[in-house]
Amino acid sequence: MSLSAHSVSQPLGVHAEHIAFIWHAMLGACGLMYALLLGFLVMTLLRQHRSAPAGVELEKRIERTLILWVGLIVVGLCGLTLASFLTDRALVRAASEPQIALRVIGHQWWWQVEYVDADNSQNVRTANEIHLPVGAQVHIALSSDDVIHSFWVPNLNGKRDLIPGRSTEIRLQPLTTGRFRGFCAEFCGVQHAYMQFEVIVESAQEFAAWKARQLAGAVTPTDPLRQAGRDVFERAACPLCHAIAGTNAAASTGPDLSHFASRRLLAAGALTNTRDHLRAWLQNPQRVKPGNHMPVVDLPGRDMTALVAYLGSLQ
């Protein structure tokens, strides 16, 4: 599944489609006004080569044109305001019955994602990645743990801020399967650039399978290398910030790693999640993503290999 063209003008969600309509209406109306005005300007510049003096007659005609121009602007603005208002109403009505409820919490500089179910045992916790079944009406409750962030997936909907001390909401309803890139759109500090995520829209079966895997708990390592990796993980500073189900690590300062290897992105989009990237990331997080809050994990090479193998197995 390749990344869909990341663009406002490629709407692949119900909301984005409504907004694309108003964009085209605006483009048409504003383009027309621009053409008219430039036409008048060009006429004026061409006229300078003729020497016909401007009489009272001409001045009267320009006055009438001005009235026409004002009328045109007023009509255009009313039309666009109305179109904008109706689009806004359509956005409010779209996806009004939540089929999937999520909570997204913004952190400097990653996204905490929680699937909220009436049945608590069905809750799924992940990071920087949102899986959705195609066509589902999704409500996402947004909040922030530190500064203001903004949740934005251009193909699916406009953006909504995550504000400390407040709760906001955004709704999505993806229309096709695919992978969509999401960004933090509000400047949030040093690593605002790499506060990205992906929305993966799948068929209902694929989504159900994904969710089942996430609910299954973390993989327990069986071979010695990965077992050693788990020991390294538990002994090193990792559990101070991260959680892996079934280990002593249950902190939530950093992303939950229980199914770390199932995610496609590393460090909120700074890298793709490969073994080599993971090793580079663990060896020097500040070189990969300068300023981020992940400390350097100073491990001997053997421990690092084991840790990478362990984390890489957490499907």
Partner 1 sequence: MSAPRDGEDFDEASTAQQLTRTWATPRGWWGALATVDHKDIARRYLVTAGVFFVGAGMLAFVMRLQLSRAENTLIGPDLYNQLFTMHGTTMMFLFAVPVMQAVAIYLVPLIAGTRAIAFPRLTAFSYWIYVFGGVMVWVAFALNIGPDAGWFAYTPLSGPQYSPGKRVDFWAQMITYTEVSGLATAVSIVATILKMRAPGMSLSRMPLFLWAMLVTNLMVLFAMPAVMLASSFLIMDRLVGTHFFNAAEGGDALLWQHLFWFFGHPEVYIIFIPALGMVSSIVATAARRPIFAYPLMVLALIAISFMAFGLWVHHMFATGLPRLGNSFYTAASMAISLPSGVQIFCWIATLYLGKARFNVALLFVIGFIVIFVLGGLTGVMLASVPLDLQLHDTYFVVAHFHYVLIGGAVFPLIGAVYYWYPKVVGRLLSERLGKWNFWTLFIGFNVTFFPMHYLGLAGMPRRIYTYASGLGWDGLNLLATLGASLLGVGVLLLLVNMIRSARVGPLASPNPWEAGTLEWATTSPPPPYNFPHIPLVTADEPLWRERDHLSVMRGLRLDKRELVVTTVVEARADLREPVARPSLWPLLTAIATGGMFLASIFSPWAVVAGAAPIAVAMIGWFWPDQPPRADGEDPEP
Positions in 195-254 near partner 1 (CB under 8 A): none
Please name the residues in contact with 142: beta carbons below 8 A apart, sequence gap of 6 or more.
104, 105, 106, 151, 160, 161, 162, 167, 168, 169, 170
Residues in the chain: 315
Task: Give yes or no for residue 141 binding partner 1 (CB under 8 A).
Answer: no
Q: Interface mask (CB under 8 A) for partner 1, residues 157-176, using x and -?
A: xxxxx-xxxx-xx-------
Q: How far is the CB of 135 from partner 1 (least distance, A)?
A: 21
Q: At what angle are helices 56-93 and 14-47 packed, to 10 degrees?
A: 170
Could you give the residue ranges of the DSSP H alpha helices within the chain? 14-47, 56-93, 204-215, 224-235, 275-283, 285-288, 301-312
Token duo for residue 130: 């949102």
What is the distance between the alpha carbons of residues 215 and 307, in angstroms, rounded to a whole number? 23
Token duo for residue 162: 């995550």
Output 218 or 266, the one with its CB closest to partner 1: 266
Q: What angle do CA 240, 311, 153 make, to 5 degrees?
A: 85
Q: How far is the CB of 2 from partner 1 (least distance, A)?
A: 10
User: Among 137, 189, 146, which Cα is nearest to 15's?
Assistant: 137
Long-range CB pairs of 299-302 (<8 Å, 24+ gap) are 299/232, 299/236
**Which of 17, 23, 125, 312 contacts partner 1 by CB under 8 A?**
23
Within positions 109 to 138, which residues make up the interface with partner 1, using CB under 8 A?
Answer: none
Output 227 or 283, the one with its CB closest to partner 1: 283
Q: How far is the CB of 267 from partner 1 (least distance, A)?
A: 12
Q: Tell me which H or E stretch contains 265.
A: strand 265-266
CB atoms closer than 10 angstroms to residue 298: 11
* Range in contact with partner 1 (rule: CB under 8 A) among 145-153, 220-228, 253-261, 275-283: 145-153
**Which of 12, 13, 107, 108 contacts partner 1 by CB under 8 A?**
108
Task: Give yes or no for residue 4 binding partner 1 (CB under 8 A).
Answer: no
Task: Give yes or no for residue 17 binding partner 1 (CB under 8 A).
Answer: no
**Which of 13, 174, 178, 269 contacts partner 1 by CB under 8 A?**
269
Q: How far is the CB of 153 from partner 1 (least distance, A)?
A: 9
Task: Give yes or no for residue 189 binding partner 1 (CB under 8 A).
Answer: yes
Task: Give yes or no for residue 102 binding partner 1 (CB under 8 A).
Answer: no
Q: How far is the CB of 57 from partner 1 (least distance, A)?
A: 11
Number of residues lying near partner 1 (CB under 8 A): 81
Q: How far is the CB of 191 from partner 1 (least distance, A)?
A: 6
User: Among 4, 5, 8, 6, which Cα is nearest to 24's?
Assistant: 8
Task: Give yes or no for residue 75 binding partner 1 (CB under 8 A).
Answer: no
**Which of 1, 28, 75, 81 contacts partner 1 by CB under 8 A?**
81
Output 49 or 222, the one with its CB closest to partner 1: 49
Output 23 or 279, the one with its CB closest to partner 1: 23
Q: Which strands form 110-115's sheet, in the order they lie side by side? A: 124-127, 110-115, 100-107, 138-144, 168-172
